[in-house]
Structure 1
Amino acid sequence: MAAACSRAAWKVGWTLLESPATRRAGTASHLLGNVGAHGTRRSYGTGGPGFRSKLLSSGGGGVLGCAFLLGGGLGLYRTVKGSLLDRHLAEEHQGSGGGLKLMLYQYKTCPFCSKVRAFLDYHGLPYEIVEVNPVMRKEIKWSVYRKVPILMVNEGLQLNDSSVIISSLKTFLINEEKDMSDILRCYPEMKSVNDRGKEVTEYTNKYWLMLSEAESATMYPGKGMQKEEMKWRQWADDWLVHLISPNVYRTTGEALASFDYIVREGKFGTVEGFFAKYVGATAMFLISKRLKSRHNLQDDVRQDLYKAVNDWVAAIGKNRKFMGGDQPNLADLAVFGVLRVMEGLEAFNDMMENTKVKFWYRRMERATLNHEGLQRSTSKH
């Protein structure tokens, strides 16, 4: 979804930048002249509360980043100057995960990438990030698989698809004697053609953990817990993620407000800031309408979002802190990761005020920020 939105936004941005008024101003050549030399920008952060990271830019390249979607699922691709990689989590968290070296290729605001970060943060697994340009995608040109997230394990093993990444890593954390390559073979790749005639890649068993009976009994002590977790993990992928962009760019005002943040935090000149704001906002507003139609959403897409998160809270019930009980399970982490990408935007604030999700969300926030999964795993050894 993120890459498709990015390319569509780029087409809209190109059309606007190629307009006669823009050519007279000479802006298009200035912006596009930076693609070859500076087409890749990076953004960092584990996705904590709010949009904390600053947008920095170097010349016109920052505007180009804004104009062609600015990052995955929400289109807030924030660019920074600096090195390619950012070390995540302190070195004292090295005790879990068998010393795995993890490198995550992502779009910062992609819901699927946010799911993976939520899992890694909760379990206290150190990882590095490579921020991928959503249009050029030069950072993953070495990969046949052209989507994000991609997780490289120990530099040689490539894991694709957010749910496969999470399931395989969780399997390994439960039994670190298992080989990651062997675990990955349990999630075979399958190619098919969707209803729009496009070839898609899916992965068999991606919501399953590859555990022995004894391990499964320990992981899922209650009746139906495993099926419940799998059901809601799939729900997060198949339904919840499709509510994000239509809600974030529901109106022209919300679209402009999102890009106001980018322009305000960036070092833009007057003309550059104008195009970054209005080209990006226009593109994403148009894309959100197409997504609304594709997924048969209501005229007021907020109602779909409210119903979805209230259904989630109702499934947890009044007697559990999380769907996993006293601690989050993989469904909790998936739903939290998806919703987190809206933080700092009007859609997120409306959701928190008009649904029952707030208390669960804040508990999840604390659990991931404090790496509570690491604390529990180390206490077992």
Structure 2
Amino acid sequence: MHYGTLCKANMAAACARSLGKVGWTIVQSPVLRRPGNGALLPGNTGSRVSRRSYFGGGKTGARSGLLWSLRGGGSRALSCAFLVGGGVGLYHTVKFYWDQQRHLAQEQAQAAPAGGPSLSASPSLTLYQYQTCPFCSKVRAFMDYHGLAYRVVEVNPVMRREIKWSTYRKVPILMVDEHLQLNDSSVIISSLKTYLVSKGSSMSDILRCYPELKSVNDSGKEVTEYSNKYWLMLSEDETAAVYPDKGMQKEEMKWRQWADDWLVHLISPNVYRSTSEALASFDYIVREGKFGALEGVFAKYIGAAAMFVIAKRLKSRHNLQDDVRQDLYKAVNDWVAAVGKKRKFMGGERPNLADLAVFGVLRVMEGLEAFDDMMANTKVKPWYRRMEAATRNHNDRS
């Protein structure tokens, strides 16, 4: 089947499912600074989703996490702190200006050719990210597992000068050969996987199958979603090779979306559950992220206080229990039950895209009390250790 025809057919089928979700709302919430579509513990949260009815028609949401929160409620608190420290702000403004000019000059020098970009045999991949963002972590897990070489550019979560050149203001952003920009963690993963399986297709053609859908949420803010982002754009033969058993594709898509729409929302309320945990989380964020010395002090103490308050609001928004650990435990055990006792991974002998997504989200909590509690009080540990080994050893090196 001609690729363009295949793309249109897949788009038509998936758009019917996507159009009903255009009204997603986004709420800024925290995630650890390693993150995935953009936050120190990401924070584009979505519409209210009941933990009891997620698969029963509950509305989908956007992402949540430590870094997201910094960009939302947390970032507003940090901005106030920088205004108070006027002298510090002036210094950083001048410094950031010159850094930005150098970055823009580099981007202009690497402009795409008139004929349009396509992925080369050995593409240059550059990931703009927050280290503790769960959506960024998802993308890294995918690329590590497949043995793809990539360069990381850590983005300052306050000024975000490293992505000033982009009209898309979230992370992750993946630049391919320095001129083709991929946005949204799930789009990045689906398009890269499609390219790896369908060797003859150009990345620019593949990206046309994931069109932007813009809408206005209940707060009057314009939000962007992407149609078909959980689909792989493959021919029938390629699809059969990737998903040999009936139901595998549907199962993978369901749990990938679950990771984005539900699991991510449990991270911030758990890592900011108490004042001590909030401080520990921001200590980790500052240590792993890209902050100046004074920025780090503001981020740790002002950010931790702000995120502690925001985490309480998120608990209410998502109908979480008073003990938010119980929601985390239930979600993780639901995942383990879905994998089952007879499979090493949801993908069978090897991880599939759902395995990589769930692993990427959960690992942003590593080193924090919430992670230790999860490992001790759920059945996830054997699966999680297998996923660590699979990504570390590049088990599906391309």
Query: TM-score, length-normalised on structure 1?
Result: 0.76
Residue number in structure 1 paired with 2:361: 338
- CA 1:165–1:263 in structure 2 vs 1: closer, same or farther (change >3 Å)? closer
Q: How far does residue 248 in structure 1 lie from its aligned partner after superposition?
A: 0.4
Residue in 1 that maps onto 2:312: 289
- Tell me the secondary structure at the aligned position of residue 341 of structure 1: helix
SS at match of 2:365: coil
Residue 368 (structure 1) aligned with residue 360 (structure 2): no
Q: Does 1:11 align with 2:76?
A: yes
Tell me whether 1:186 sits opposite 2:186 in the alignment. Answer: no
SS in 2 for 1:147: coil
Between the aligned partners of 1:362 and 1:206, the Cα distance in structure 2 is 28
* Alpha carbons of structure 1 residues 259 and 182: separation in structure 2 relative to 1, 3 Å: closer
- Matched residue, 1:299: 322
Match of 1:358 in 2: 381
- Specify whether residues 291 and 320 from structure 1 end up closer, same or farther in structure 2 by C-alpha distance, changes over 3 A only: same
1:79-118 equivalent positions in 2, closer than 5 A:
98-118=121-141
Q: Distance in 2 between matches of 1:272 and 1:142?
A: 22
Alignment match of 2:175 (pick from 149, 152, 168): 152
**Pairing of 1:167-206 with structure 2 (within 5 A):** 167-206=190-229
TM-score, normalization by structure 2: 0.73
Aligned residues: 313
> Partner letter of residue 174 of structure 2?
L
Rounded to whole Å, the distance in 2 between the matches of 1:256 and 1:226 is 41
Is 1:165 the counterpart of 2:222 in the alignment?
Answer: no
**Taking structure 1 as reference, are residues 262 and 246 closer, same or farther at Cα in structure 2, changes over 3 Å only?**
closer
- From 203, 216, 236, give the equivalent of 2:259: 236
2:124–2:150 contact (8 Å) kept in structure 1? yes
Give secondary structure in 1 for the equivalent of 2:128.
Answer: strand
Query: How far apart are the structure 2 equivalents of 1:203 and 1:332?
Result: 21
The 1-side partners of 2:340 and 2:78 are apart by 45
Deviation at 1:10, TM superposition (A): 3.2
In structure 2, what is the Cα distance between the partners aligned to 1:170 and 1:195?
Answer: 34
Alignment of 1:206-217 (within 5 A): 206-217=229-240
Segments of 5+ residues of structure 1 without an aligned counterpart are 43-83, 85-95
Q: Deviations over 1:259-313 (max 9, x none)?
A: 45578899x9x99986554323212212212222222211111111111100000
**Take 2:131 and 2:286, find their aligned partners in 1: how far apart are those partners?**
17
Letter in 2 for 1:12: A
What letter corresponds to residue 279 of structure 1 in structure 2? Answer: I
In 2: Cα distance, 1:371 partner to 1:239 partner: 28
Call closer, same or farther: CA 1:104–1:333 in 2, change over 3 Å: same
Do 1:5 and 1:287's aligned partners in 2 also have CA atoms closer than 8 Å? no
Aligned CA distance change for structure 1 residues 169 and 355 (closer, same or farther; 3 Å): same
C-alpha distance in structure 1 between counterparts of 2:96 and 2:306, whole Å: 19
Out of 126, 145, 159, the position equivalent to 1:136 is 159
Structure 2 CA distance for aligned equivalents of residues 317 and 261 of structure 1: 33
Which deviates more from structure 2 when the two are superposed, residues 230-239 or residues 293-302? 293-302
Aligned equivalents of 2:286, 2:137: Cα separation in 1: 23
Q: What is the CA-CA distance between 1:38 and the residue it aligns to? A: 4.6
Question: How far apart are 1:16 and its partner, in Å?
Answer: 5.6
Secondary structure in structure 2 of the residue aligned to 1:214 = helix
